[in-house]
Amino acid sequence: MSSDKFNIFSFSGKMKIMHLSWMAFFVSFMVWFNAAPLMGVIALSLGLTNEQIKTLLILNVALTIPARIIIGMVTDKFGPRLTYSALLILCSFPCFMFALGETFEQLALARFLLGFIGAGFVIGIRMVSEWFPAKELGTAEGIYGGWGNFGSAAAAFTLPVIAIAFGGDNGWRYAIGLTGVMSFVFAFIYYFNVSDTPKGSTYFKPKKAGALEVTSKGDLALLILMKLPMYATLALLGWKLSPEGVGMFTQMEVYGIYGILVAVLMLDLYQTYQVNKHIFDGPVPEFERYPFKQVAVLNVLYFSTFGSELAVVSMLPLYFAETFELGLTQAGMLASTYAFMNLVSRPGGGWISDRFGRKPTLMILTAGLALGYLGMAQITSDWALPLAVIMVMTCSFFVQGGEGAVFAAVPLIKRRLTGQIAGMTGAYGNVGAVFFLTVYSMVSTQIFFYVIAASAVLGLVSLLFLTEPKGHIAEVNEDGEVTLISVN
């Protein structure tokens, strides 16, 4: 573990790793959300319908759910340095493909593939956990997550300006292509300036590849149960693309998607059994065990926190425009205050977690989140606009602070599995987003906010089962030596 002091203005040692990692995450989010602020211009340029625009937005998040699981496994096996660099290079190509697209089908395929870059977040969680001691980990992960997440807001502010600067019908192509160039170039900057661990530290890898390891039969049952909502969400996305939804696929094609999902689930369950069948031969040694319930609780909390953030960011500009009769530009600027809070609230949640403990912090922030959305449900056109903005910013502090506190706890469960645990928890954020946006398409905005508040109450109940991390994580290297990693 790097011993130099935590100085946010430093660019050496562990601080350099943290800064370069949030920059990689920032670039990945700029690429992931590069189309959203330009969608109106793209639609005009290529004659897209409203249904096609909605389809592109759905496709943008579809692949991120399995991608976060896969990238978590790859990170644990090959290390974050190689994985982040490779992801940034590979995802620059669908970005260029989107920028050069002439038909809806080309744009749809590029957008679907670009969902993979949304998994970049998971890689940095493992990288930062290797470099910072437990007492600073929440703050470091919060800065990584909060400042990197701001890439989506940066895309919203800068890309329309770049598109106008290039001008003409193809301005949007140059703006989107530029983010692909950034991704490609930063891959090399990252690769040649970071290392997976501080000098002399061991990078612990999973004993078996292909599925998350658990350490008891009960945990295996819980792991299987936690997999099901992810497949159900992908099936829901399939339904949204069916003739009953936006009509991108025929009913037979959608049945084909369902069939593929069932086949992949069966393969996943088989692989999970193969990796964990040793638990049926006898108990795992005490020092090797970890409680999977910790992961399950954090999944539920990230469903409410990041899931609601992605959903609310998508609907808030139009909500402000309709409720307060604003122009879309003004409404977009006001709605961006929700995302702006990421710069301070996510690091803030991590910092509070470092100071006052993981569980108490999560309890307070989740309760605040529930109250925040109950407050947002009360907003009407009778409210003064500044008061509505203050309500939104207050709610977003608890949402993003909660995200920071969740990922302050994730790396303290089992070091060699951090990528996979972060992948599963991160995927649950996307599951939440798809669930909440589906609810939003069916009910009033007020009920939408009430549903998110109810999910936070469920999160509070699940927190009763969370154990405050204490003592040490034991990891065994390839030579059989045991290393104890403090989680206090």
**Chain segment 353-384, per-residue pLDDT in tens:** 999 999 999 999 999 999 999 999 999 999 99
Mean pLDDT of 125-138: 94
- Determine what percent of the chain is predicted with pLDDT higher than 90: 66
Q: With bands split at pLDDT 50, 70 and 90, how would you rate the model's confidence at 41?
A: confident
Q: With bands split at pLDDT 50, 70 and 90, how would you rate the model's confidence at 176?
A: very high
Strand, coil or helix: 476: strand
pLDDT at 413: 92
Q: With bands split at pLDDT 50, 70 and 90, how would you rate the model's confidence at 2?
A: very low
* 153 contacts 121 by C-beta, under 8 angstroms: no
pLDDT at 1: 46
For the record, the structure tokens of 472 come out as 């040490």
Exposed/middle/buried for residue 103 (C-beta within 10 Å: 0-12, 13-18, 19+) = exposed
Sign of CA dihedral 399, 405, 408, 409: negative
C-alpha distances (whole Å) from 321 to each of 44, 110, 317, 438 are 21, 30, 6, 21
Long-range CB contacts (within 8 A, 24+) of 209-212: 209/73, 209/77, 209/275, 210/73, 210/271, 210/274, 210/275, 211/268, 211/271, 211/272, 211/274, 211/275, 211/276, 212/272, 212/275, 212/417, 212/420, 212/421, 212/424
Backbone angles phi, psi at 476, to 5 degrees: -110, 130
* 114 contacts 60 by C-beta, under 8 angstroms: yes
* 51 contacts 39 by C-beta, under 8 angstroms: no
Mean pLDDT of 15-22: 97
The identity of residue 164, as a single letter, is I
Shortest CA distance to 315 belongs to which of 449, 428, 432, 426? 449
Mean pLDDT of 419-426: 95
Mean pLDDT of 458-463: 96
Q: With bands split at pLDDT 50, 70 and 90, how would you rate the model's confidence at 208?
A: confident
pLDDT at 339: 77
| pTM of the complete model beyond 0.75 | yes
Mean pLDDT of 333-341: 80
Q: With bands split at pLDDT 50, 70 and 90, how would you rate the model's confidence at 328?
A: low
* 76 contacts 126 by C-beta, under 8 angstroms: yes
Shortest CA distance to 152 belongs to which of 306, 347, 300? 306
Asked if residue 479 has pLDDT above 90, the reply is no
- Per-residue pLDDT of 311-321, as tens digits, reads 888 788 888 88
* 124 contacts 22 by C-beta, under 8 angstroms: yes
Tell me whether strands 482-486 and 472-476 are parallel, antiparallel or unpaired: antiparallel
pLDDT at 27: 97
Helices H / strands E in the chain, number of each: 19, 2
For residues 366 and 33, the model is more confident at 366
Q: With bands split at pLDDT 50, 70 and 90, how would you rate the model's confidence at 482?
A: confident
Mean pLDDT of 224-245: 91
Shortest CA distance to 404 belongs to which of 316, 298, 314, 488? 298
Exposed/middle/buried for residue 174 (C-beta within 10 Å: 0-12, 13-18, 19+) = middle
Q: With bands split at pLDDT 50, 70 and 90, how would you rate the model's confidence at 310?
A: confident
- Determine the Cα–Cα distance for residues 370 and 364; give it in Å rounded to an integer: 10
Longest dimension (CA), the chain: 68
- Determine the Cα–Cα distance for residues 466 and 457; give it in Å rounded to an integer: 15
Asked if residue 194 has pLDDT above 90, the reply is yes
Mean pLDDT of 418-443: 91
What is the overall mean pLDDT for the chain? 91
Asked if residue 282 has pLDDT above 50, the reply is yes
- Determine the Cα–Cα distance for residues 231 and 261; give it in Å rounded to an integer: 7
Mean pLDDT of 9-20: 94
Asked if residue 78 has pLDDT above 90, the reply is yes
Asked if residue 458 has pLDDT above 50, the reply is yes
Exposed/middle/buried for residue 317 (C-beta within 10 Å: 0-12, 13-18, 19+) = buried
Asked if residue 180 has pLDDT above 90, the reply is yes
Shortest CA distance to 427 belongs to which of 249, 227, 202? 227
Mean pLDDT of 45-55: 85
H/E stretch holding 188: helix 171-191
For residues 166 and 361, the model is more confident at 361
* 296 contacts 222 by C-beta, under 8 angstroms: yes
- Determine the Cα–Cα distance for residues 263 and 251; give it in Å rounded to an integer: 18
For residues 56 and 256, the model is more confident at 256
* 207 contacts 288 by C-beta, under 8 angstroms: no
* 32 contacts 60 by C-beta, under 8 angstroms: yes
Asked if residue 148 has pLDDT above 60, the reply is yes
Mean pLDDT of 190-207: 93
For the record, the structure tokens of 344 come out as 């301070």
Mean pLDDT of 229-233: 94
Exposed/middle/buried for residue 6 (C-beta within 10 Å: 0-12, 13-18, 19+) = middle
